[in-house]
Structures are given as structure tokens and as C-alpha cells.
Amino acid sequence: MKFKSRDLSAARRILKIRDLRVGLSGRPDAEPVLDGIDLDIHAGETHCLVGESGSGKSVTSLATMGLLPKDALEVQGGQIDLEGFEITSATPQQMRRLRAQRIAMIFQEPMTALNPVLRVGEQIEEVLAMHTDLSQSDAKARTLDIMEQVHLPDVDRIYAAFPHQLSGGQRQRIMIAMALVLDPDLLIADEPTTALDVTTQLQILKLIEEMQERHGTAVLFITHDMGVVAEIADTVSVMQKGRIVERAPIRTLLTAPKEEYTRKLLTAVPNLAPRAGRAAPDAAAVLRVEGLEMTYGGGWFRTAGGVRAAQDVTFDIAPGRTLGIVGESGSGKSTVARCIMRLIDPTGGEVVVAGTEIAQMSRRQLGPHRKHFQIVFQDPYRSLNPRWTVARSLCEGPINFGTPKAEAMARAAELLELVELPRDAMTRYPHQFSGGQRQRIAIARAVAMQPDLLVADEAVSALDVSVQAQVLGLLEDVQKRFGIAMLFITHDLRVAAQICDDVVVMQKGRVVEQGAATDVLTNPRHSYTRSLIEAAPGRNWDFANFRALGGAQAEQGTTA
Amino acid sequence: MTELPGSRHSAFQVLSGMLSLPAGARVGIGPGLAALVLVAIVVASICAPLYVPHDPLAMDAMARLRPPSSEHLLGTDPYGRDIFSRVMTGGRVSLLIGVGAAIVSVTVGLAIGLVAGFFRTVDGIVMRIMDSLMAIPAILLAIALVALNGPSLGSVIIAITVPEVPRVVRLVRSVVLSAREEPYVEAAIALGSSMPKILLQHLMPNTLAPLIVQGTYICASAILIEAILSFLGAGVSTEIPTWGNIMAEGRSYFQIKPGLIFWPGLLLSLCILCINLLGDTARDLLDPRMKKREG
């Protein structure tokens, strides 16, 4: 693995933050949100801020932009010095001039950061119109130029396009173009690739690096993804609870982390090397999917063709085994999961769960079979009814299937213990729990039905890495204890490598490759699988053991 | 708080839990004042028979169009009836119609909206019927309905309710449409919950907050529409005093006896103002954006 190792201490220092303290507005005695942040960024440097959610990464960037929400957060001390200009005491007018011209920012979700009713070209031009005296034709020329620079294809067409007509990657390119059109000294990127697919992420990371080299911009890059950090960082600051606990050049941090917290964070990052496969049991398959097909739309007479979200998907899972479906967004992996759960009705094919064909059953017939298959969703904040106590959520299923309430309650209490939540969690509401705890509750709710098959649809994607590791451990634990077959949908190859026995790779609704996880992930046959693996950031680094991954795999990755 | 909600909680706890009111939400002095005035008007109207000095229907040919005096606080009307007694008694029917219309239209609208929002097949048909109802001006429809059913209290409430229902249905349907996509609803389907259970226990609570707000507006507009109907002669029978009836009768004597229109008009306006103010407050309190700022 090649890390950046430039010496930037001689370069001009763009940003100097000293002892920055941010707290809740009007409550100086409350616990601070940022507690004494020091930060230096030099021209041409990429400085990564990493940490789990709630550690204060984004607040640091907002304070630097002077964009703290006024009625909630305020700077309570310290200084933010942008080459001699003090940001903490700047007036709104000064800040407005400063933004775009000297500091620019790109966000995680380019769809919401762009105005949906204006053409993207006009939106870039607007930045120029506000901050420069360029004539209209000059502004347009400059806009087209920057759009070329961020490698947008067919610039004239995209200039006149609306945000919804572009792909996620193209939108993020527009955001980058808009941020860099005035050639700022400092670019703040707040999780700019988190919402993108891996292959697109790789392109955007390359683009940011290229633009940085061309313009000599300093980049403050905020991310939770250690893989991305390994790819792009010069220097890394690890944040925890509003403090920077460790700062080091990237190589030092990944090979010899000093702080306990940094070690914990790195150890939790799953490896891209698949774990050793488990012996396949002899038992008959719990889930058998054959020729599953799902076509959306297409009109009454199927003349329009419709969207084929899944075609000819075939696989099976034995009890106690885990099968992963991996692929990028739009590959149809969630469609398959929802068809199997019968949340949508497949247009063709067979789904056999525990010996019963369910794909063609009517909703009414399906009722009694529902208890055999359960699902855990991605977003732990929306998968529990916010108005229901945990106990009520846990008992809902068993009561539907005729379990007396007292018995269901007793079982719910046991399950809470199993997922390591305190007993008093029963009477509390979902908003009183963290994301990881809620996901545990959702798992307990699914397990309460004693299913034969558990579908986990991106079940750990919304969680911090350390929590992710715990929830994966819990899922495996539950699987062992009850011998459940698991269908694991994920876009994250690292997660797939850690938990799956078998893997199905999907692209555009079709299965392009399937087999044992060890085979597919170390010896991919299809070019799409290969490009997925190659795009995974930091794939050659074994984060948990602070060293490069075993030579053979690294070789394969690069030569493939 | 050891049992499932709904079993031993007080009604208030359940309600505020369902509406998930932000803790410590503060309300200004305006809404408090509005509530006070409204309660005063309501209590005064309900208790009117206990304290009004005259029978509101008793005519007295010897005492027509009297000015205010100690015997007739606000004077008398062209038939010698006591205006004060009539205005206070009239409030009862007006308020009854307002509250009745609000409750009926919210209940009916909720039921139709839940079904329309959840079942795609029913949705198309129900919503087109609602659209056609909305296309007819509310007052015209109300007049037509009263003309069909004859002028009674019930038919006036129905006449006011029918044009309001589509608005409620649209509101409920839109809430259900977005809530049914929530993963917790899909989880309930996966857990084998029946459709009525999902509708009533998962989806309906989401609609309560906007419905309470909508209900107050319907209540205010129903009182107003009742007055308009009475004024046009299409309301409840003229023998029953309502604010609208009193004003309708008084309009020909407006120049010699402005009190005939002024007093019921004043109470009517105050009432509507207060209800709308309370509705606005409820909307602000229940608005999710407010919640975010608080929590």
C-alpha cells in the first residue's frame, strides 16, 4: 500500500485553529461540543478528520465556515485563523465574501446541496456573478472550463441540465466545480463520497486529488471511512467527543497508533480478505430462490417493457449459513430481498422458504408463513415505531401468531438480554437509544419470531465501524444459537468478506458471479467483481493488524 | 410506566405520547388569552338557560325595539324579544354545529383517508369522488343539501360536513402515503400484523397531530358557514335562535337597531378568532420542525 509521504511543513500555512471551543448557545456551563481543538493545514495538504458520529467532525468544519447554527451552537473561545484573518470575530458580510473565494465546502448529499429547479451551469455561474465582476459571456466560459476540469462529459449538455438529470457522481462533480471555480485556498469536504458507490467514490477521490494538485488547495477532509483516509490523507486527526485525541502522518497512524481509541477504531475496520469458509452442512436448503424476476411498470399490456430490477436470480441457503448479495446501488440486491420478504410481489420465479413456495401466494395465504422469514432494515432510526415502547415492538409478532401476552413479554425480556440491552429497555421508547442499540432491538424483534431465515438489508451500513463490528458479532451469535440461515445484503465488500460464507454479485438486476466468498473475493472471475474489489479504498491494508495485507492478495488485487 | 402504553397511562400521557409533544414547549400569552375567552363564551352559551332573564322566544308586542335598559340589557328586537337572551342562547346552537361538524368531518375523513392511503386500488376511485366534491363551491353544495333534507340541525351539520370531508381525506391520505413507506410499517407487515392493526396502530397515530389542527379550522369555518346559511335563509329553522338567524332577522332593522347585528357578530368573530389562534398554536407545537429545534 502506498501512502502519501510529502513534507508539507515548508508550505504556506492556510488554516490555524487554536484551542477552539464550541458549546450550546447560551449555556456556557453545559458540556462543550468541541473542547480545545488545535489544527494546522498547509497549502496542498490533505488533512483528514476521522471519528465516529457525534465526535464533532462536522461541527469543526461548520465553525471554520462560520456556519454554526446560531440558535444552537456558538464559539465560546479560541481562534480560527485563515492566513491572518480571524474567522470567529468576522461579520456576516466578511464571511460571505470569504466563503467561495477563500474557503469552499462540498457536502455528502449533492442532490440536496444543489437547487433542484435551476440548471447546474447557472448555479456555478451564480457563484461567479456574486463574487466577481466577470461579464456574462466570460462567466459562462469560465463555468464551462471548470466543468471540463472536473471531467464532466459533454459539457454543453450538462451545463443546461437540471440536478435530477445527472447521476450522483456527476452531481458531486458539479459541487466540486462550484467549490473550486473561484480557486479557494481551503476546501472543506464533509463526507463527500459517503453517499456514492465505490467505483464512483474512487473517481471522485481521484478528482479531488487532481484538483488539489492543480490549484494547490488545502483540503480538510471529513470522513468516517478508514479506507478512504488511507487512500488520500497526508495527515490524520482522530476526534473523539469533541477533542482531537491523536494526530499523525498517515503511515505513522496506521502502523503505530498511540492512543487506545485510535487502536479501537482501526481494529474495528473489517478486512477485505474473506474469513475462512465454514463447512457446508448437509441439511436441506432453508431458502431456495429460482429464476426470480421483478419487473417494475411496463403498462397493462407490457408493451413499454418496464424496468427489470431483477432477472433470473437463483441461489439457495442452508441452515446456519450466510449468503451475501453485493452490488452497487441499482443493482437489484434490495429488490431481491424485498421479493423474498414478499414486501413486493415478484413478477416471476420461485421462492421456497422452509419447504413452502411463497412467491405466488396471495397475501392472505401468506399470513401464517410470515413467521418463517424476518428482516432487519438499514435505518435503525426508522425501523422501529417511534410511538411504541420497545416491549410493544418486540411482542407485536408473537402476539400476531397467537402467543399469550404474558409469555411474549417474558420472551421479549430474554431476547433483550441476548442482545445485551438492559432489562429496563422494555418500557422505554426508541428515541432513548443509540443507533446501534436500536439495531439490536430490531434484531431481537426479528428473532422473537424464531424464523428460519433472517434477511439483513444493509443492516450495518448506517452504523459507526465499532458499532458495526458489534452488531455483526451479534448477528453471528444469533445465527449460531438458533441455526438461522441469513441473507445479507450489502454494498460494502469488507462487511461481506467478514460475515458471508457465499457471495452473489449483482449488476443491473442480473447475477454476474456467485460462489464461496473466499473464491469470489480473492479470485474474482467477472470484470465487474474485479472493478468493485479494486475500487474498495484501502483494500491492501490490514487495518486491524496495522500492516499491509498478505502479499498474495495484494498482488492479485493489483494485477487483476 | 411499566405496562404497554394504552393500558394504564392517563389519557393525557397517551395523547401527548401519540402527538410526541416536545418536552417543555412554551406557549405565548396570546393563545392563553384566546383559550380563556373561548372557554368563557362556551360556558356562557351552555349555561345560558340558567341565567338569561327572558325566554328567548317570548314575543312582547308592547316592547318592540326597546333601547338597552336594566330589564333588557341589550334592548329588544322588532318582535319584542330580549336580544341579550337570544344572543346568549343562540351561541349554543352555533357552537354545537361548529363542534359537531368538526368531529363528524374529521371522523369520516379519517376513515376514508386511511383506507384510500393504504389500498392502492380503492385510492383511485375514492380520490376522484373527493375531487368532484371539492370542485363544487362549499356554500352552494351546503345550500343544495339543506334544501334536499329540510332545515334541521342534523341536516345543517351534514351540509357543512360534506364539503369539508374531502379536505380531511386529502390530508390523512398524504400522511398515510408517506408513513406507509416507513420501514417500521414494512416490519409490521413482515411480522404478520393484519391490515386493520397496521392501519389503526401504526398509521393512524401519525395523522392525529395534523387532524387536531385541521379540526380547529373546520370548527371555526363551520360556525361561519352556519351563520351564512342562516343569513341566506337556508339554515336551521328560524324559530331556533342562532347567531346567523339573529343577524339575518336584524338586517332590515340594521339602521335603527345596529345591536341586532353587532352583538351576535361580535361573539361570532371573537369565537372564530380564538379558535383559529388556538389552531395556529397547535400547528406550531405539533410541527416536526419545532420538535427538531427543541430536541
pLDDT of residue B100: 93
Residue B170 in this model has a pLDDT that exceeds 90: yes
Nearest to A221 by CA among A86, A57, A43, A3: A57
pLDDT of residue A488: 93
What gap in Å lies between CA B126 and CA A114, rounded to an integer? 37
Residue A555 in this model has a pLDDT that exceeds 50: no
Point out the least confidently predicted range of A328-332, A479-483, A485-489, B221-225: A328-332
pLDDT of residue B25: 53
Report the 10 Å Cβ neighbour count for B178.
11
Indicate yes or no: CB of B190 within 8 angstroms of CB of A374: yes
- Cell numbers that stand for A270 in this block: 473489517
pLDDT, tens digit, for every residue of A422-463?
888 888 888 888 888 999 999 999 999 999 999 999 888 888
- Cell numbers that stand for B206 in this block: 401519525
pLDDT, tens digit, for every residue of A81-121?
888 888 888 888 888 888 878 898 888 877 788 888 999 99
pLDDT, tens digit, for every residue of A305-317?
677 888 889 998 9
pLDDT, tens digit, for every residue of B60-109?
888 888 888 888 888 888 888 888 999 999 889 889 999 999 999 999 99
Indicate yes or no: CB of A371 within 8 angstroms of CB of B183: no
B256-to-A426, B77, B79, B82 alpha-carbon distances in Å: 71, 11, 14, 16
What gap in Å lies between CA A344 and CA A529, rounded to an integer? 28
List B76's β-bridge partners, or say none: B82
What gap in Å lies between CA A269 and CA A346, rounded to an integer? 36
DSSP string, A81-143: EETTEESTT--HHHHHHHHHHTEEEE-S-HHHHS-TTS-HHHHHHHHHHHH----HHHHHHHH
List A317's β-bridge partners, or say none: A287
- Residue B203 is classified by DSSP as I
Residue B47 backbone phi and psi in degrees, to 5: -85, 5
Q: How far is B214 from chain A (nearest CA, A)?
A: 21
Helices (H), B191-242: 195-197, 204-231
Burial A206-224 (b: 16+ CB within 10 A, else e): ebbeebbeebebbbbbbbb
ipTM over 0.85: no
Contact status, residue A311 vs residue A293, Cβ threshold 8 Å? yes
Q: What is the distance in angstroms between the CA of the first residue and the CA of the last residue of chain B?
A: 22
- What average pLDDT does the segment A174-189 reach? 89
pLDDT of residue B110: 95
Q: Give residue B27's pLDDT band: very low, low, confident or very high (50, 70, 90).
A: low
Most A CBs within 10 A among B175, B182, B184, B292, hence the mutation to make, goes to B184
Report the 10 Å Cβ neighbour count for A31.
10
CB contacts < 8 Å between A and B, how many?
Answer: 67
Indicate yes or no: CB of A71 within 8 angstroms of CB of B202: no
Query: Which of B183, B189, B191 lies closest to A379 in CB terms?
Result: B183
pLDDT of residue B2: 39
List A322's β-bridge partners, or say none: A486
Q: Which amino acid is at A261?
A: Y
B229-to-A47, A97, A296, B29, B242 alpha-carbon distances in Å: 72, 60, 51, 34, 11
What gap in Å lies between CA B6 and CA B267, rounded to an integer? 39
In B, minimum Cα distance to A443 occurs at: B187
Helix (H) or strand (E) holding B114: helix B83-118
- Cell numbers that stand for B50 in this block: 340558567
Indicate yes or no: CB of A400 within 8 angstroms of CB of B2: no
- Non-local CB neighbours of A495 within 8 Å, separated by 6+ positions: A270, A460, A461, A468, A472, A488
Residue B240 in this model has a pLDDT that exceeds 60: yes
B191 CB within 8 Å of a chain A CB: yes
What gap in Å lies between CA A18 and CA A21, rounded to an integer? 9
Q: Give residue B292's pLDDT band: very low, low, confident or very high (50, 70, 90).
A: very low
Q: Is the dihedral of CA B283, B287, B289, B291 positive or negative?
A: positive
Q: How far is A286 from chain B (nearest CA, A)?
A: 17
Query: Which of B4, B187, B192 lies closest to A401 in CB terms?
Result: B192
E-state strands within A253-333: 287-296, 307-317, 322-326
- What average pLDDT does the segment B107-123 reach? 91
- Non-local CB neighbours of A404 within 8 Å, separated by 6+ positions: none
Residue A125 in this model has a pLDDT that exceeds 80: yes
Point out the least confidently predicted range of A144-148, B76-80, B217-221: B76-80
- What average pLDDT does the segment B181-210 reach? 90
- What average pLDDT does the segment B141-158 reach? 88
Cell 410541527 found at: B287
A218-to-A11, A102, A180, A368 alpha-carbon distances in Å: 10, 11, 11, 60
Helix, strand, coil % (nearest 5) of chain A? 40, 25, 35
Nearest to A175 by CA among A186, A189, A164: A189
pLDDT of residue A91: 87
Indicate yes or no: CB of A385 within 8 angstroms of CB of B184: yes
Q: Give residue B172's pLDDT band: very low, low, confident or very high (50, 70, 90).
A: very high
Query: Which range scores top for mean pLDDT: A77-81, A113-117, B110-114?
Result: B110-114
- What average pLDDT does the segment B48-55 reach? 87
Query: Which range scores top for mean pLDDT: A200-204, B250-254, B270-274?
Result: B270-274
pLDDT greater at residue A163 or residue B23: A163
- Cell numbers that stand for B292 in this block: 427538531
